Structure 1
């Protein structure tokens, strides 16, 4: 009976985390749909989109940033090279200030500068492009952007089967972790949320901290642990219940 109860707890926990992740991607799907609508409108006019055509994106981004269930740090669209008429590379991105205002984020996209923000080689951009699937990357420190420890959610945008960029959102791990921990607290044993490299995103015990690498430890007691994969993305997240009481 205890074994069945434990399995039920793990399933409930995973369902709650999956619901939170799905809500993030629903917002990004709406943002991607708005981009596709703009590209379709400009095609009907036989024109290539430029920065001035992107104004409708702000309303969608504002809805994402105003979410009550999760506190987003920033959101927007990152475009593939050459997609806009008036610039080679471009991010249409907004973030929240410490005063809770929403303002555009300006980054250095000059490839000759030592502060060049080369997003073309960043996993949150390349993975959705290559796999055509949603991606969750991190936690990592976004040194050239927000300088916070963040988790990046991104979704590929295709138009006429051509990759035109990603719709993305950043959530600071500091604000995401409490929500994840509340879900993990449903499990009586020690439980962890891990990313693909075996790094801890959240835990229901003080034995592990966000950012800890648990892969070797997990391999040692894998026979007695339960592992449940989360929502299908190109970035593997899983909930792990270890064979130890929660302390």
Structure 2
């Protein structure tokens, strides 16, 4: 991982799309700093399409798609994308899995939920679970005392033993049934909403993230960036970003945004 400041001017200046995780990438200690929101505004005003790619729930994503200066949002680790059409006053929603299958999968996840709570003392159901469409989120440090890495790994293994996909973020272990992730739905979102072929244009797209569930995006985008707290996961992440900011969370995101915007103006 090289410093963000070393991203070549021609590379940074060619960026046309920016994807970013939310928790601990746009936020710091659970809050969205004004400078990070301002960076989203500046990127959008410069003609760069911005989209959060997050593990957060459908309820949150509906609000983000409507109210933030973004082209859309991919939520629940790739379960769907939402994009608000301001001219038509209509929310465009696309899901990886149909309604009936999602409902059946939620029933299957009830058994996983019971097993995790019984076998991993201190783990809890995420406070935002009520607003989710497709996955089960287990809190290991957001609203509970932080669990050791061994217990976080145990939660992930229980999901996998039950046949589910599981990804670790900076605050939750998310588990679901279905062959999708952040990258698969980002590809659909880019094609449907932005008219961008992710595979053909990946050199001109930057993803910014911070944790193991961002690995598919880090591995795919050659100019992916991590905020400084990604360094906490060295050795526990399947793919690392090409560049890393010097600051954590939203302040690190601002570093990336500034590098791109300064390169465009240069």
TM-score if structure 1 supplies the norm length? 0.34
Which is helix-richer, 1 or 2? 2
Which is strand-richer, 1 or 2? 1
TM-score if structure 2 supplies the norm length? 0.32
Task: With a CA cutoff of 8 Å and minimum separation of 6, indicate the structure with the bigger relative contact order.
Answer: 2
Report the structure number with the largest CA radius of gyration: 1
